[in-house]
Protein backbone atom coordinates (compact mmCIF):
# COMPACT_ATOMS: atom_id res chain seq x y z
CA UNK A 1 0.00 0.00 0.00
CA UNK A 2 1.20 3.51 -0.68
CA UNK A 3 0.36 6.92 0.69
CA UNK A 4 1.27 10.52 -0.07
CA UNK A 5 3.48 11.39 2.91
CA UNK A 6 7.22 11.99 2.38
CA UNK A 7 10.18 14.25 2.98
CA UNK A 8 12.96 14.53 0.39
CA UNK A 9 12.02 11.40 -1.50
CA UNK A 10 11.34 10.48 -5.09
CA UNK A 11 8.14 11.69 -6.75
CA UNK A 12 5.92 9.56 -8.96
CA UNK A 13 3.77 11.60 -11.35
CA UNK A 14 4.03 14.50 -8.92
CA UNK A 15 3.04 12.44 -5.85
CA UNK A 16 5.56 11.47 -3.14
CA UNK A 17 5.73 7.77 -2.33
CA UNK A 18 5.59 5.97 1.01
CA UNK A 19 4.68 2.30 1.30
CA UNK A 20 3.46 -0.06 4.02
CA UNK A 21 4.01 -3.61 2.79
CA UNK A 22 2.53 -6.54 4.71
CA UNK A 23 3.89 -9.94 3.63
CA UNK A 24 2.49 -11.75 0.58
CA UNK A 25 0.37 -14.67 1.76
CA UNK A 26 2.06 -18.02 1.30
CA UNK A 27 1.09 -21.11 3.29
CA UNK A 28 4.69 -22.39 3.22
CA UNK A 29 6.19 -19.09 4.41
CA UNK A 30 8.30 -19.73 7.52
CA UNK A 31 7.72 -16.32 9.08
CA UNK A 32 5.87 -13.10 8.33
CA UNK A 33 7.34 -9.64 7.74
CA UNK A 34 5.98 -6.11 7.29
CA UNK A 35 8.07 -3.18 6.09
CA UNK A 36 7.70 0.58 5.80
CA UNK A 37 9.53 1.79 2.71
CA UNK A 38 9.98 4.85 0.59
CA UNK A 39 11.01 5.24 -3.04
CA UNK A 40 14.26 7.08 -3.68
CA UNK A 41 17.13 7.87 -6.04
CA UNK A 42 20.78 7.87 -5.08
CA UNK A 43 23.24 10.67 -5.92
CA UNK A 44 23.83 9.03 -9.32
CA UNK A 45 20.04 9.17 -10.01
CA UNK A 46 19.54 5.39 -9.73
CA UNK A 47 16.07 4.42 -8.41
CA UNK A 48 15.61 2.08 -5.47
CA UNK A 49 13.99 1.53 -2.09
CA UNK A 50 14.91 2.81 1.36
CA UNK A 51 13.48 0.70 4.20
CA UNK A 52 12.43 2.87 7.14
CA UNK A 53 11.55 -0.16 9.28
CA UNK A 54 11.04 -3.90 8.94
CA UNK A 55 9.13 -6.07 11.43
CA UNK A 56 9.53 -9.84 11.37
CA UNK A 57 8.22 -12.71 13.46
CA UNK A 58 11.50 -14.65 13.80
CA UNK A 59 13.91 -13.25 16.42
CA UNK A 60 16.96 -15.03 15.00
CA UNK A 61 16.43 -13.54 11.54
CA UNK A 62 15.99 -10.09 13.08
CA UNK A 63 19.23 -10.35 15.06
CA UNK A 64 21.19 -11.47 12.00
CA UNK A 65 19.73 -8.73 9.77
CA UNK A 66 20.50 -5.98 12.30
CA UNK A 67 24.16 -7.02 12.60
CA UNK A 68 24.75 -8.16 9.01
CA UNK A 69 26.57 -6.04 6.40
CA UNK A 70 23.15 -4.75 5.26
CA UNK A 71 22.41 -3.15 8.68
CA UNK A 72 18.69 -3.21 8.01
CA UNK A 73 16.35 -1.64 10.64
CA UNK A 74 14.63 -4.90 11.63
CA UNK A 75 12.40 -5.34 14.70
CA UNK A 76 11.09 -8.51 16.29
CA UNK A 77 7.29 -8.56 16.24
CA UNK A 78 4.30 -10.76 16.99
CA UNK A 79 2.63 -11.27 13.62
CA UNK A 80 -0.35 -13.11 12.14
CA UNK A 81 -1.39 -13.62 8.51
CA UNK A 82 -4.79 -15.18 7.81
CA UNK A 83 -6.65 -15.76 4.56
CA UNK A 84 -10.30 -16.63 4.04
CA UNK A 85 -11.14 -16.73 0.35
CA UNK A 86 -10.37 -13.32 -1.12
CA UNK A 87 -9.95 -11.68 2.32
CA UNK A 88 -6.49 -11.44 3.86
CA UNK A 89 -5.86 -10.07 7.37
CA UNK A 90 -2.48 -9.01 8.73
CA UNK A 91 -1.68 -8.16 12.35
CA UNK A 92 1.67 -6.94 13.69
CA UNK A 93 2.79 -5.73 17.14
CA UNK A 94 6.42 -4.82 17.73
CA UNK A 95 8.26 -6.60 20.56
CA UNK A 96 11.91 -5.50 20.31
CA UNK A 97 13.71 -3.18 20.20
CA UNK A 98 11.54 -0.33 21.45
CA UNK A 99 8.08 -0.24 22.96
CA UNK A 100 5.07 -2.36 22.05
CA UNK A 101 3.16 0.68 20.79
CA UNK A 102 4.07 0.34 17.09
CA UNK A 103 1.45 -1.99 15.66
CA UNK A 104 -0.54 -2.53 12.50
CA UNK A 105 -3.73 -4.30 11.45
CA UNK A 106 -4.66 -4.45 7.78
CA UNK A 107 -7.49 -6.29 6.03
CA UNK A 108 -7.57 -6.37 2.23
CA UNK A 109 -9.79 -7.91 -0.40
CA UNK A 110 -7.88 -9.45 -3.30
CA UNK A 111 -9.26 -8.60 -6.71
CA UNK A 112 -8.70 -9.63 -10.30
CA UNK A 113 -5.14 -9.92 -11.64
CA UNK A 114 -3.76 -7.23 -13.91
CA UNK A 115 -2.88 -7.98 -17.49
CA UNK A 116 0.56 -6.56 -18.37
CA UNK A 117 -0.94 -3.95 -20.67
CA UNK A 118 -3.20 -2.70 -17.84
CA UNK A 119 -0.33 -1.67 -15.58
CA UNK A 120 0.14 2.09 -15.34
CA UNK A 121 3.34 4.08 -14.98
CA UNK A 122 2.60 4.42 -11.25
CA UNK A 123 2.05 0.65 -10.88
CA UNK A 124 5.47 -0.02 -12.40
CA UNK A 125 7.09 2.80 -10.42
CA UNK A 126 5.98 1.23 -7.13
CA UNK A 127 6.70 -2.41 -7.92
CA UNK A 128 9.70 -2.47 -10.29
CA UNK A 129 12.58 -1.68 -7.96
CA UNK A 130 15.69 -3.79 -8.28
CA UNK A 131 17.87 -2.52 -5.44
CA UNK A 132 17.68 -1.04 -1.95
CA UNK A 133 19.88 1.41 -0.06
CA UNK A 134 21.23 1.40 3.49
CA UNK A 135 23.14 4.00 5.49
CA UNK A 136 25.81 3.15 8.05
CA UNK A 137 28.97 4.62 9.52
CA UNK A 138 30.78 3.49 6.35
CA UNK A 139 28.46 5.50 4.12
CA UNK A 140 25.75 4.79 1.56
CA UNK A 141 25.48 1.22 0.24
CA UNK A 142 23.42 -0.27 -2.59
CA UNK A 143 22.21 -3.89 -2.67
CA UNK A 144 20.88 -5.50 -5.85
CA UNK A 145 17.68 -7.58 -5.71
CA UNK A 146 16.81 -10.12 -8.41
CA UNK A 147 13.37 -11.70 -8.76
CA UNK A 148 10.74 -12.25 -11.47
CA UNK A 149 8.26 -9.39 -11.98
CA UNK A 150 5.48 -9.43 -9.39
CA UNK A 151 2.26 -11.04 -10.63
CA UNK A 152 0.11 -8.11 -9.56
CA UNK A 153 -3.59 -8.14 -8.79
CA UNK A 154 -6.01 -5.46 -7.72
CA UNK A 155 -6.69 -4.97 -4.04
CA UNK A 156 -9.04 -3.03 -1.77
CA UNK A 157 -8.18 -1.95 1.78
CA UNK A 158 -11.12 -2.75 4.07
CA UNK A 159 -9.33 -1.87 7.31
CA UNK A 160 -6.07 -0.04 8.01
CA UNK A 161 -5.09 0.64 11.61
CA UNK A 162 -1.40 1.44 11.54
CA UNK A 163 1.18 2.94 13.91
CA UNK A 164 4.29 1.58 12.18
CA UNK A 165 4.56 4.59 9.87
CA UNK A 166 4.29 7.08 12.74
CA UNK A 167 6.98 5.11 14.61
CA UNK A 168 9.47 6.08 11.88
CA UNK A 169 8.94 9.75 12.76
CA UNK A 170 6.67 10.56 9.82
CA UNK A 171 3.15 11.92 10.07
CA UNK A 172 0.41 9.34 9.70
CA UNK A 173 -0.82 9.61 6.09
CA UNK A 174 -4.33 10.66 5.12
CA UNK A 175 -6.49 9.57 2.23
CA UNK A 176 -7.33 6.25 0.65
CA UNK A 177 -4.39 3.83 0.26
CA UNK A 178 -3.46 2.39 -3.11
CA UNK A 179 -3.33 -1.42 -2.81
CA UNK A 180 -1.47 -3.93 -4.95
CA UNK A 181 -1.62 -7.65 -4.25
CA UNK A 182 0.99 -10.19 -5.28
CA UNK A 183 1.66 -13.80 -4.41
CA UNK A 184 5.07 -14.47 -2.89
CA UNK A 185 8.07 -15.03 -5.15
CA UNK A 186 11.66 -16.09 -4.59
CA UNK A 187 14.25 -13.30 -4.57
CA UNK A 188 18.03 -13.31 -4.70
CA UNK A 189 19.64 -10.61 -2.54
CA UNK A 190 23.16 -9.49 -3.42
CA UNK A 191 25.87 -8.17 -1.13
CA UNK A 192 25.88 -4.46 -0.25
CA UNK A 193 28.17 -2.30 -2.39
CA UNK A 194 29.51 0.97 -0.98
CA UNK A 195 28.67 3.72 -3.46
CA UNK A 196 29.30 6.81 -1.33
CA UNK A 197 31.82 6.74 1.56
CA UNK A 198 30.84 8.38 4.82
CA UNK A 199 33.50 11.06 4.29
CA UNK A 200 31.52 12.44 1.35
CA UNK A 201 27.96 11.34 2.22
CA UNK A 202 25.35 13.45 3.94
CA UNK A 203 23.83 11.45 6.78
CA UNK A 204 20.24 10.25 6.89
CA UNK A 205 17.62 9.53 4.22
CA UNK A 206 18.14 13.01 2.71
CA UNK A 207 21.26 11.76 0.90
CA UNK A 208 18.93 9.75 -1.33
CA UNK A 209 17.88 12.48 -3.69
CA UNK A 210 14.29 12.98 -4.81
CA UNK A 211 13.59 12.41 -8.47
| pLDDT one-digit tens code per residue, 129-141 | 899 999 888 888 9
Query: How far apart, in whole angstroms, are the C-alpha atoms of residue 177 and residue 65?
Result: 29
What is the reported pTM? 0.82
Q: What is the pLDDT of residues 179-205, one digit of tens each?
A: 999 987 788 999 999 988 887 655 444
| Spatial contact of 93 and 34, defined as CB atoms under 8 Å apart | no
Give pLDDT, residue 201. 55
Q: Is the pLDDT of residue 15 over 50?
A: no
Judged by DSSP in three states, 125 sits in helix
Q: What is the pLDDT of residues 28-81, one digit of tens each?
A: 446 789 999 999 888 888 889 999 999 999 999 899 989 888 889 999 999 999
- Walk me through the domains of the chain, giving residue ranges and CATH numbers: 2-207 (2.40.400.10)
Query: How far apart, in whole angstroms, are the C-alpha atoms of residue 105 and residue 90?
Result: 6
Amino acid sequence: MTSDNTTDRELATGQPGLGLEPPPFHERCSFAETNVRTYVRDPADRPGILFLSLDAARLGAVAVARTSPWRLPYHWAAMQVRRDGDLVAYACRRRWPGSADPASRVVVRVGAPYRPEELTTLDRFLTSRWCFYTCSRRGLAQTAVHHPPWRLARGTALQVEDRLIAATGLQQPNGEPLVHWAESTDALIGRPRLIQPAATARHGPGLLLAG
